[in-house]
Chains A and B, each alone.
Chain A
Amino acid sequence: MSRFFVLSLTGLTQGAIYAAMALALVMIWRATKVINFAQAAMAMFTTYLALFAIDHGAPYWVGFLVALLSGLLLGAIIERVLVRPVESAPPLNVVILTLGLLLFLEALAPMAFGGQIRSFPPAFSIVGLHLGNSQVAFSPFDAFTLGAVLAVMVLLLVLFQKTNLGLRMRASAFNPEVSGLLGIRVGRMLTLGWALASLVGALAGVLIAPSLLLYPTFMDDVLVFGFTGAVIGGLDSAVGAVVGGLLMGFALSYVGGYFGSDLETVGALVILIAVLMVRPRGLFSLQRLRQV
């Protein structure tokens, strides 16, 4: 089996997770015009909570649900308690707040869950599938990862494009003042937006934990790659986030495979610079259209 094919499969799975992370960042960017750097720590924390449940005898799927639900809750609480009071302040204040929260959660995790590196169980086997006589670099868990990310994206798409609630959320993100005049409870929509974004981040956490191992900063690289993917996609486009995240997955897999894994981060930077030189607003940004 060709090396390129193997690397592509790895890239696709990794890319799906970066895409989820990118989507989480874009959802909050669209609603509050802030990059939520704490997303890495939030996803780390919810993954620890899942492991905590599994350690105490809960089956994997209960742990999986714990991660998603605690993600939902954590996002809502952070928006309500921390972000809301500084909402009208300059965006930089909120950015600093999310950075502070990142450090706080990463310091809190060892105290709450212990400092040692932990392994996290996968939902399905991580041994590559057999096709005839040869084994491919694609495991049942990889298939689950792809399926779970895809399912969440389809659900979000349906929510935002097909439901009145989604319409309210989009309106609130684009123009809070006018949305208020239309009777929309903009504050609630913001809370919900943070909650959903945090859920998507939590999903990325439980999906990548089996391959990365679990420690307080284990999601930091995923945040960087997801953020890069989001910027490549234009930062304000959900489709862009997914495409950007997948691109990052493929690119990093090729760079790691052909040039050595030490160069992955450099590769990410090169791709980012290359895309921004050709299309400064990213691949899918609405900004250009809005200027018409």
Chain B
Amino acid sequence: MLEVIDLTVAYGPVVALHGVSLTVADGSMTAVLGANGAGKTTLVRTISGLTRPHGGSIRLDGRDITRLAPDAIARLGVAHVPQGQGVLAELTVDENLRLGGLWRRDPGGQRHALAEAYDLFPRLASRRHLAAFSLSGGERQMLSVGRALVARARVLLLDEPSLGLARLVLVQIMARIRALVTERGLTVLLIEQNAKSALSVADEGIVLHLGKVVARGRAQQLLSEERLRHAYLGF
């Protein structure tokens, strides 16, 4: 279970997150919605340890991880798929994917997870020995997501996975992740600008506006609230 309690983050005088709290239960998916600058990316960066909060705490299965370094948090099973620039461009596709599972020190499981990732993204399999900088934007996104799957994380932080992906590929990826949530109890925090598609796969939804939570609830319920949709979600 991932818990964010009263989190406050500021960049100098600019407050990016203001007392944000949320809980993602094991085996569930929560979508974090909101416009550009609402604080969505800051939220995931703080959870994965890249940004230091000014107040509040983050807990993973009851353990306080607020002050841990990013690599220590990753080794607890939290995989952060950053927006856009998540691949190591100079390394090959295969090396990128393998890096995802190295922290486990479990060569057998790693090979299996690698094969799974290639099954899910045949495009990556055919480019396995190319350097990642030769990939298209969509392929890079597949690589980032595939790497998080190879990591066999317990908690997946997805920052705008839809960026640069064809609709069909996105649907495929989300279906796969949804299956992992249901079958393996994966916990997912999904950051999205496209509220409609995010809410259609998530269990819960949270709407951020200028660093504050302005609405939360079951995904279906948020989808049906007209006032909210007009004010914050733009559809």
Contact = CB atoms under 8 A, between A and B. Distances in A.
Contacts of B48: 181
B70 interface: yes
B74 interface: yes
A175 B70 CA distance: 13
A274 interface: no
Contacts of A290: 89-90, 133
Interface string A176-188: 0111111111100
Interface stretch (A46-54, A130-138, A165-173): A165-173
B103 A182 contact: yes
A168 B99 contact: yes
Interface residues of A, number: 21
A180 B71 contact: yes
Contacts of A185: 71
B90 A286 contact: yes
Contacts of A170: 90-91, 95
A181 B159 CA distance: 13
Nearest to B95: A167
B161 to A, nearest CB: 15
A174 interface: yes
Given A177-B50, A289-B133, A292-B134, A183 B90 contact: no
Interface residues of B, number: 29
B231 to A, nearest CB: 34
If over half of A's interface residues share one DSSP class (helix, strand or loop), that class is named, otherwise mixed; here it is helix
A164 interface: yes
A152 B151 CA distance: 33
Contacts of A289: 131, 133
Interface in B3-20: none
Given A174-B90, A178-B82, A183-B74, A292 B133 contact: yes
B232 to A, nearest CB: 29
Contacts of B50: 177, 180-181
A168 B101 CA distance: 11
B99 A171 contact: yes
B98 A167 contact: yes
A180 B69 contact: yes
A174 B71 contact: no
A182 B91 contact: no
B74 A181 contact: yes
A110 B88 CA distance: 46
A292 B134 CA distance: 8
Interface in A23-66: none
Interface string B190-226: 0000000000000000000000000000000000000
Interface string A78-104: 000000000000000000000000000
A290 B132 CA distance: 10
B102 interface: yes
Contacts of B151: 182-183
B75 interface: yes
Contact of B91 (A164, A174, A183, A292): A174
10 contacts: A164-B98, A180-B49, A181-B48, A182-B74, A184-B71, A184-B99, A184-B102, A286-B90, A290-B89, A290-B90
Interface of B: 48-50, 69-71, 74-75, 79-80, 82, 85-91, 95, 98-100, 102-103, 131, 133-134, 147, 151
